[in-house]
């Protein structure tokens, strides 16, 4: 009985310690929300992407992280990418809500992109976004046993902070690379009470991918995403996806020293794609949760799929082809 009680207390102390560490890492070391299906969600963190799609698209995403852990992160995203008729500019709109315990941060921004041809089949897009971050902290949601902490006396915190970001996106029909900074307005914008919760710093996102045609019915795309927050280690994501018959996608992803993931997707129709991923923690925290789930829905407006690039026929007129761009 004594041994069982000792083991229970040990696991509880370990659990609480891990939660404090991981929540601190999420709030201080990972400013932007974390995505496993980043390859289908580029417009969320790179404004240069919004004008590179062929037809307007609507994106919805939900991520439930660390299942069975009270107060664990939950992320909602609604986005719109709209290429304009001149085939050079695009507009985007994003709403992202990131929840963690009593803390909710909602980002709202509008994006604009402009692209130029750097070669016959290569384009370079530049993007800017502007908006704001709504920070809502409610300390009535939970029990806190930190004595003499003045911040808890505030009960609730509601603040708004402006955001300005930028990005570039270089791409062809079968590859892409991109660099983005979601927000330049960081240092000095938080007052003392909020600075205890959020130590905001500039974050850099670097992405890339290449599509290999293995056969007429099978494509293979390795991809990566690197996140760097000033003063923190680089967060590295590596993934590999297969596209089968231009309809089914299946693959795996690895987040360095953090998690492995399985991914699957289905092109329901020319106008709709649904994707799902499951993460399993490879660190010790995996013993205390049942993984993370993420689902994404993409709706392509207009004729065909926005993942189908345009080529030219013998008369030099644009035509649709059946091969998806796969990003």
Tell whether 123 is covered by a domain: yes
The pLDDT value recorded for residue 7 is 42
Tell whether 141 is covered by a domain: yes
The pLDDT value recorded for residue 5 is 40
The pLDDT value recorded for residue 327 is 80
Tokens describing residue 252:
């795996």
The pLDDT value recorded for residue 34 is 85
Tell whether 326 is covered by a domain: no
Instruction: Give the DSSP per-residue string, 12-53.
Output: HHHHHHHHHHHHHIIIII--SPP-S-GGG-GGGT-GGGTTSS
The pLDDT value recorded for residue 24 is 41
CATH number assigned to the domain comprising residue 205: 2.40.160.40
Q: How far apart are CA 165 and CA 108, in angstroms?
A: 12
Taking CA atoms, 89 is separated from 149, 165, 173, 311, in Å, by 50, 17, 18, 19
- Name, in order, each residue with C-beta under 8 angstroms of 29's C-beta and a sequence gap of 6 or more: 229, 232, 233
Tell whether 50 is covered by a domain: yes
Q: Write out the chain's pLDDT in tens, 327 residues.
A: 444 444 434 344 333 343 444 444 343 334 667 899 999 999 999 999 999 998 999 999 999 998 888 888 999 999 999 999 998 999 999 999 999 888 898 999 999 999 999 998 999 999 999 999 898 887 666 555 555 555 555 567 888 889 999 999 999 999 999 999 998 887 655 555 555 455 567 889 999 999 999 999 999 999 999 999 877 889 999 999 999 999 999 999 999 989 999 999 999 998 999 999 999 999 888 788 889 999 999 999 985 443 444 444 444 444 343 445 778
Tell whether 325 is covered by a domain: no
Overall domain count for the chain = 1
The pLDDT value recorded for residue 157 is 80
Q: Which helix (H) or strand (E) holds 9?
A: helix 2-24
Q: What are phi and psi of 9, to 5 degrees?
A: -65, -40
Q: What are phi and psi of 110, to 5 degrees?
A: -115, 135
Containing domain of residue 54, as a range?
2-320
Tell whether 327 is covered by a domain: no
Tell whether 149 is covered by a domain: yes
């Amino acid at each position: 009985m004594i041994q069982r009680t000792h083991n229970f207390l040990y696991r509880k102390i370990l659990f609480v310690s891990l939660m404090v560490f991981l929540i601190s890492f999420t709030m201080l070391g990972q400013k932007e929300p974390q995505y496993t299906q980043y390859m289908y969600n580029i417009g969320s963190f790179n404004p240069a992407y919004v004008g590179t799609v062929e037809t307007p698209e609507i994106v919805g995403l939900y991520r439930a992280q660390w299942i069975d852990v009270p107060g664990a992160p939950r992320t909602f995203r609604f986005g719109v990418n709209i290429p304009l008729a001149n085939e050079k500019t695009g507009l985007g709109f994003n709403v992202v809500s990131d929840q963690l315990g009593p803390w909710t941060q909602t980002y709202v921004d509008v994006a604009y992109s402009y692209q130029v041809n750097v070669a016959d089949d290569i384009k370079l897009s530049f993007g800017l976004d502007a908006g704001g971050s709504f920070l809502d902290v409610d300390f009535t949601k939970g029990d806190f046993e930190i004595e003499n902490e003045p911040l808890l006396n505030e009960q609730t915190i509601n603040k708004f902070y402006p955001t300005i970001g930028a990005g570039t996106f270089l791409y062809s029909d079968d590859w892409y690379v991109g660099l983005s900074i979601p927000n330049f307005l960081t240092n000095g914008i938080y007052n003392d009470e909020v600075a205890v919760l959020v130590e905001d710093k500039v974050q850099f996102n670097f992405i890339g991918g290449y599509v290999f045609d293995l056969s007429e019915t099978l494509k293979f795309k390795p991809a990566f995403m690197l996140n760097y927050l000033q003063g923190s280690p680089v967060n590295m994501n590596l993934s590999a996806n297969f596209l089968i018959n231009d309809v089914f996608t299946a693959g795996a992803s690895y987040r360095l020293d953090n998690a492995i993931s399985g991914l699957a997707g289905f092109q329901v129709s020319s106008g709709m794609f649904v994707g799902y991923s499951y993460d399993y923690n490879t660190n010790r925290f995996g013993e205390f949760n049942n993984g993370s789930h993420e689902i994404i829905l993409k709706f392509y407006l207009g004729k065909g799929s926005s993942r189908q690039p345009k080529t030219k026929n013998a008369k030099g007129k644009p035509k649709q082809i059946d091969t998806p761009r796969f990003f």
